[in-house]
Chains A and B, each alone.
Chain A
Amino acid sequence: MADISIPSTSAGAVGRDPLTVDALAGPRKRARKESFIKGIFFIAASVSIIISILIVASLVREAWTFATGVEWAKTWGQNGWFPRQGVYDMPTLLVSSLIVTVVAMLVAGPLGLGSAIYLSEYASKKTRSLLKPVLEVLAGVPSVVLGFFALFFISPQVIERIGRNGWLVIGALIFVAYIALVIGWARNLVQREAGTSIGTQVKRILILTALVATALILLWWINSVAGSADPAADNFFTVKRSGQLAAAAVGVGILTIPLVASVAEDALASVPKELRDASAGLGARKMTTTIQVVLPAAVSGIVAAFIIGISRALGETMVVFMAGGAADAARFTSSPFEGGLTMTAGMASLATGTDNVVGEGLTFQSLYFVGFVLFVLTLTLNIVAGRFVNRVREKY
């Protein structure tokens, strides 16, 4: 048989309008317009890269000038951060930052996580719609407001009270915990259901008692001896009236609660419902399900929430600047009940006061050195947190 050939472009035009590639190419103008628009959007997206580069470049440039210009041997280990006098002791700022971050996370960690668990596991739709906005409002409160609150309320009303009766409060807490544990174990002893021998129980109680006694003695010793420079007037818990790191840290912690809560809640929400159902189906109580099934499943996300919280607390500036109890310089301190400057507050206080510090050589560049250290720390924390968040996403 003869070849069967399909008509090509030229042959297909019989009887109808001929169709050519050009007819399907669309107007040039439209293609140009589309790629122009795409170009504009691309430029907008690239702005973020430019900003990133500029941040790193400005930090590195000035920080490098500082790092090579400063006499490290003379300034490191000096008893404080006095940038205007040329004393740049980084440990002063780093230790204060550490104190503030730890205390802030002691506030934000449990409160944020507890709120997240309640909202995600327990709250009815209605309770949720009532309580969630509270966290949202709290998240929107400017940090200067928390600075004001920390200085005029948290410092005199909370920290000073604890400070005045500090060892009593802590001692009481330890004692209450001790009594509760002893009662719990004693009950076990009576009911004999845990399968442990009487000897183990008694041994536990004895060890605990010894620990508590040691803690109380240590507390008393710190209270009376450690502040022995002027034991009558000054002890570990004596409060300086001008605000203190602890007050600022509690303020920072309050600011961090909503962030920890929202990241942790996302993590809890990503735990599949089937896991909860399976646990409930085996007869587990809600609390058992929450603690033994949901929390372990969401643990990466909860870790991420804490790390992001730490990064946020480390970078918080105004609360410490206003309520941290130090002006534009600070002595080294390792006590949360004294005034101090964190890295952030150190930068803010150096940049304020006299109009600004531009051009004052090392003093100006020290800002960027501190900023660079802070930038590297928070960036590292955020990257680590991102890894943890991704781990949850991959799992479910």
Chain B
Amino acid sequence: MVNLTDAEDVNPKGLSVSAENDADITVEQNTDTPVDEFPAEDLVFDASDLSVYYGDFRAVRDVNMLIKRKEITALIGPSGCGKSTVLRSFNRMNDLIPTARVEGTLLYRGVDLYDERVDPVEVRRRIGMVFQKPNPFPKSIYDNVAYGPRVAGRKKGLDDVVEHSLKKAALWDEVKDRLQESAIGMSGGQQQRLSIARAIASDPEVLLMDEPCSALDPIATARIEELMAELKDEYTILIVTHNMQQAARVSDRTAFFSVEVDETSDRRTGLLVEYTNTEKLFSNPDDERTENYITGRFG
């Protein structure tokens, strides 16, 4: 439960939701930061004062974000600002690093993702992930897509799932005749769409994409961006990108992260500077650091 008693402050979460009672929900208009209105039921993630540590080292601090359903939210910022780290904390991929830990709260549809009862495996089945470098398994195309459902124990109807997922990922027409061939021989763009199909096959609600186009050529990138626009109808998408134009093109909302360097230890800690709708962030940012970054004066 987060209470903002003084609405005159810049709302750190970029948008706000208010509830007078359970049934009747309206969205407050913040005077300083224009925010969209949306019903509370569309709230997917709610991060409050989220910090991620690696051992004693704080990689990112004080992230406050509300993320809306069936939108594309972009995370941008200079390298080392912790945007990927934040993304990975959304489906607990950071758990794989033994020293990583999270402070603050991160609610997914109202449930604390870091509650000790929560199984990260279950989280990742609902919140899928696409990685920076295409990472097809050294198996057939079919087995790649069917991987998620299979580990979830599904044995029947895999053919339909594979076809459906590949169609969703705009890959079906290219590969339908060679489903049993190895995925390793595909082009980079195809491999990345396969990764998306693989993520979709687990029937997630959210897709996290960690710089999905950074290893691709411009044509393949354009196809992925097109695909994201289509997928938005069904999935909530968070994308980390180093490419500001990409964020401007595809996202509804953008979070700008910056990095502060501790002079004495030379350690870099990332922080969320500004989070608002994409159009505003790129045309009329509130924060000077954001402006410097998007106009190319920094980073």
Contacts and interface: CB of A to CB of B under 8 A. Distances in A.
Contacts of B17: 4, 6-7
Contact of B41 (A14, A23, A24, A26): A14
Interface in A1-19: 1-16, 19
A9 B3 contact: no
Given A6-B1, A12-B43, A19 B16 contact: no
B261 interface: no
Interface in B1-43: 1-8, 16-20, 22-23, 25, 28, 39-41, 43
Contacts of A16: 41, 109
B123 A24 contact: yes
B117 A25 contact: yes
A248 to B, nearest CB: 49
A20 interface: yes
A2 B41 contact: no
B41 A12 contact: yes
A21 interface: yes
Contact of B110 (A1, A15, A19): A19
Contacts of B40: 6-7, 11-12, 14
Given A14-B41, A19-B108, A7 B25 contact: yes
Contacts of A30: 119, 121
Given A5-B3, A16-B41, A24 B118 contact: yes
B35 to A, nearest CB: 11
A202 interface: no
Interface string B120-148: 01110010000000000000000000000
Interface range on chain A (Cβ under 8 Å from partner): 20 to 34
Contacts of B252: none
Contacts of B28: 1-2, 4
A312 B28 CA distance: 77
B43 A14 contact: no
A226 interface: no
Given A4-B4, A19-B109, A24-B111, A10 B22 contact: yes
B217 interface: no
Given A4-B17, A6-B17, A14 B119 contact: no
Contacts of A14: 22-23, 25, 39-41
A211 interface: no
Contact of B111 (A1, A6, A11, A21): A21
B68 to A, nearest CB: 13
Given A4-B3, A6-B17, A19-B108, 12 more contacts: A2-B18, A6-B40, A6-B46, A7-B40, A8-B110, A10-B110, A11-B25, A12-B109, A14-B23, A15-B39, A24-B118, A30-B121
6 closest A-B pairs by CB: A12-B110, A26-B119, A9-B110, A19-B109, A26-B122, A1-B7
Interface of B: 1-8, 16-20, 22-23, 25, 28, 39-41, 43, 46, 66, 107-113, 115, 117-119, 121-123, 126
